[in-house]
Amino acid sequence: MEFILSLLIGISLSATSGFRIFVPLLILSLAALAGWVELSPTFAWIGTYPALVALLIATLLELVSYFFPYVDNLLGIVAVPISIIAGTLITASLMVDLHPMLTWALAIIAGGGAALGGSALSNTVHAGSTVTTAGMANPVVSFVESIFTLFISILAVLLPVLAFILLGLIAFLVVKAFRRIKKPGIQSRAHS
């Protein structure tokens, strides 16, 4: 059961790293220091005070940077591979007492995949905001994403099952919304 909870925490934190790379790492560091999560010995450095300070500074810089229109779009593109790496590391750090091959397979597929999904959604929303509002709404989008990332990251540590279910529900609703948006365009071309 402990393995399942660790995996759910890892996947949920990894998904949020697709929105903001350093927020889930900061929350993971705080949770490890508080004794709420156990880190793999290889990643014990995440639960140290120097890591906490570095992650806090990186988080603040990242959050501020996303409030500048067009800069947020550039950051979103650059952040995709970095968020996949972060998501992979987050999930791997929580896989305690697993064979390394299984740890890295789960980390890459589940953690990296969740981070990629978060990045794709974030970039799509930012691009849509930039196109429809000439970037004027991007700071609001960035604020909402930052709050969402913080909330889900905290929830992932405190109530991992709920965080995972909530992320799954959000993913389902987003996919459904995109299908609904895409569908009329496909039908109108078919009738032309």
Alpha carbon dihedral 142, 60, 165, 172, in 10-degree steps, equals: 30
83 Cβ neighbours under 8 A, 6+ residues apart: 17, 18, 21, 115, 116, 118, 119
Confidence bin at 111 (pLDDT 50/70/90): very high
| Cα-to-chain-centroid distance, residue 36 | 20
Choose between 95 and 187: higher pLDDT: 95
- Say how many Å lie between the first and final Cα of the chain, rounded: 55
CB-based contact 46:133 (threshold 8 Å): no
Residue 133 CB: number of other CB atoms within 10 A? 13
- Residue 36 belongs to what domain range? 2-191
pLDDT the model gives residue 182:
67
pLDDT the model gives residue 82:
94
- DSSP conformational letter for 20: -
| Cα-to-chain-centroid distance, residue 21 | 7
User: Taking residues 62-70, what's their average pLDDT?
Assistant: 84
pLDDT the model gives residue 112:
93
Structural domain tally of the chain? Answer: 1
Residue located via tokens 């996919």: 175
Structure confidence by residue, pLDDT tens digits, 96-105: 988 999 999 9
5 Cβ neighbours under 8 A, 6+ residues apart: 160, 161
